[in-house]
Amino acid sequence: MAVALAGTVRGFAGFGAGLVMMAPLSLLYGLPAAVVSVAVIDSVAIPAMLKGVWAIADRRRALIAAGAAALLLPLGTYILQTSDPQLLRQLAGAGVLVFVLALALGWGWRGGEKATALIGASAGVLGGATSLIGPPVILHFLARGEAAARTRASIAIYISVVVLSQLVVLAVAEGFVGGIAGWSAWGTALMLAPAYVVGILLGRSVFHLASPLFYRRVAMALLVVVGLLALLG
């Protein structure tokens, strides 16, 4: 049920699946297996997620952000190993909430591709240190004030590329560095993936029926939840 709901959220908003899946999967299988499962499930469903969005997305900007994020992930991981992880997550959560508030008050900022690369790089550092690799780039696309369909499509491509990068890292760790959760977690994830794909198709259908304003409100509400969980967790 949680996996199908996560797919619906991802299909509608272009992001947010991990927010829905991580807690129940962690309770059932443990945190390491949950991290692996979320990456595998989301990767398997990428073709369903990207259907119809590639043509309308700001592909160049999404790929610039994703590439910069992937390059800086190791730095974030190093910071995680040398700093207080709880404090890092709280600071990141507070930052997300501040920027969501700014968007709610009408702030907008377009910026050029260099700015996108810098924001992607900051997302990579933040993701490696706190696992919050999505919010900086998602906020960037929302702040650009483009059509909801284009914003969602760009976010979907960014998240998909980042997830694939994470999957490669996890596979390497599983095969050569002693493993994260064992290959059995990958098998479990593959069995759950069909429900996730069904959820994506449902969420995509709902998006096409929703107004741009409703999409923006849902996306910002999801980011508020992410920020609060990081700040209070």
- Say how many C-beta atoms besides its own lie within 10 A of residue 98's C-beta: 10
Question: Is residue 45 very low, low, confident or very high in pLDDT (cuts 50, 70, 90)?
Answer: confident
User: Could you tell me the CA-to-CA distances from 35 to 18, 105, 113 in Å, in that order?
Assistant: 9, 34, 31
Please say whether the beta carbons of 228 and 96 come within 8 A: no
Q: What is the dihedral of CA 102, 145, 47, 70, to 10 degrees?
A: -50
pLDDT digits (tens, 9 = 90+) for 104-143: 887 777 778 999 999 999 998 888 777 778 888 998 999 8
Q: Burial level of 195, CB count in 10 A (0-12/13-18/19+)?
A: middle
Please say whether the beta carbons of 45 and 51 come within 8 A: no
pLDDT digits (tens, 9 = 90+) for 212-230: 889 988 988 988 988 898 8
For Cα atoms 141, 111, 106, give the angle at the middle one, nearest 5 degrees: 60
pTM of the full structure: 0.85
Q: What is the dihedral of CA 63, 79, 74, 124, to 10 degrees?
A: -10
| Token pair of 77 as six digits | 């991981």
pLDDT, the chain, mean:
86
Q: CB under 8 Å to 35, separation ≥6 — which residues?
A: 22, 170, 180, 181
Residue spans per domain, the chain: 2-232
pLDDT digits (tens, 9 = 90+) for 142-166: 988 889 999 999 999 999 898 888 8
What is the DSSP secondary structure assignment for residue 58, as one 8-state letter? -
Residue 176: per-residue pLDDT: 64
- Helix (H) or strand (E) holding 159, with range, is helix 148-176
